[in-house]
Chains A and B, each alone.
Chain A
Amino acid sequence: MTLKEAIERLGLHVLTSEEVGDAKVTGGYTCDLLSNVMANCKTGNLWITMQTHQNVLAVAKLKDLAGIIFVNSRQPDEETIQKANEEHVTVLNTDESAFSISGQLYQLLKEP
């Protein structure tokens, strides 16, 4: 599953301006604790969280994540978006809850 496909299938809103590439989504990880994400999130994962401050970007870069999904329609501030653009981190949001979007992504990634 590419990031582009995942975005389409899950109806995610892309908040960053860079075109979404064909990077592969290797899985998902749902957590709001940054140390836990640093320890357990895998390369190419989509990170599902309600943390929208700019420090999530360094974690995404250090872990080579496919992108970050902010849940419950959470909107980061302009500065975070701008920084995400500069750092080439794909930042997304969804109207769904963390529970719901995690379940949907899980199902999607199980498809043959």
Chain B
Amino acid sequence: MVSHYDLSRTFEIKGRDFSKAGYVSINIKEILRELGIDPVIVRRVAIASYEAEMNVVMYASKGEMALKLNPKVIQITLEDEGPGIENIDMAMQEGYTTATDEIREMGFGAGMGLPNIKKNADVFELKSTVGKGTSYNIVIYLNSKGNV
């Protein structure tokens, strides 16, 4: 029998569409909650996936997020088509942002997204090709406590 824990789903994210922003992450959170995953883990996944999703909405044209789950790990991967990131070390720094004033007025663009993903993930890999896009690999172990 295939365990209900072995799961793989993909979700589309539209760039610059603030009306749907966050709903892929809500979807993922509901799936994890229904499976009875530890709420502490679910909260960490929710923070990481939300920040990754919002970065597609704010900076890219479109993206695809995938959720993979087995009894040991939750993996979220994200591939987007967009401008990419020139300097990843700089982007990872707290407070660094290229968000426009308009976006900042909405309360986004505090430059805390990537640092918060790093804090909540056990593994966080970010790769990017300028002019093409960015990919995120986020892994959270089901038995881990994270760095928070």
A interface with B by C-beta (< 8 Å): 32-36, 38-39, 43, 49, 51, 53-55, 57-59, 61-63
Chain B residue nearest to A49 in the complex (CB): B107
> A-B pairs with the 7 shortest C-beta distances?
A58-B22, A35-B112, A33-B110, A34-B107, A62-B46, A51-B107, A35-B110
Q: Bound state CA distance, A35 and B106, in angstroms? A: 11
B100 contacts A by Cβ under 8 Å = no
B residues in contact with A58, CB < 8 Å? 21-23, 25-26, 50
Q: Which residue of the partner chain, among A32, A33, A49, A61, contacts B112 with CB atoms under 8 Å? A: A33
Nearest CB of A to B117, in Å = 10
Asked if B110 and A36 sit within 8 Å, CB to CB, the answer is yes
Q: A73–B51 Cα gap in the complex (Å)?
A: 29
Q: What is the CA–CA distance of A61 and B30 in the complex, to the nearest angstrom?
A: 10
> B142 → chain A, closest Cβ, in Å?
19
Q: Name B residues whose Cβ lies closer than 8 Å to a Cβ of A.
A: 18-19, 21-23, 25-26, 29, 39, 43, 46-47, 50-51, 54, 106-108, 110, 112-113, 116, 119
In the complex, the number of residue pairs spanning A and B with C-beta atoms less than 8 Å apart equals 62
Q: A35-B112, A62-B46 known; A51 and B106 CB under 8 Å? A: yes
Given contacts A35-B51, A35-B112, A39-B47, 5 further A-B pairs with CB under 8 A are A34-B110, A39-B116, A49-B107, A51-B106, A58-B23
Shortest A77–chain B CB gap in Å is 12
Q: Is the CB of A33 within 8 A of B107?
A: yes
Q: Which chain A residues lie closer than 8 Å to B110 at the CB level?
A: 33-36
Known: A38-B50, A38-B51, A54-B19. A32 touches B116 (CB 8 A): no
A36 surroundings in chain B (CB, below 8 A):
110, 112
Q: Whole-angstrom distance from the CB of B88 to the nearest CB of chain A?
A: 18
Minimum C-beta distance from B97 to chain A (A): 10
Whole-angstrom CA separation of A61 from B22 in the bound complex? 9
List 26 contacting pairs A-B, 8 Å CB cutoff, sorted by A: A33-B107, A34-B108, A34-B110, A35-B51, A35-B110, A35-B112, A35-B113, A36-B110, A36-B112, A38-B47, A39-B47, A39-B119, A43-B43, A51-B106, A53-B18, A54-B18, A54-B19, A55-B108, A58-B26, A58-B50, A59-B22, A61-B22, A61-B26, A61-B29, A62-B22, A63-B46
Chain A's closest residue to B47 (CB) is A38
Give every chain A residue within 8 A of B47 (Cβ-Cβ): 38-39, 62
CB distance A53 to B106 under 8 Å? yes
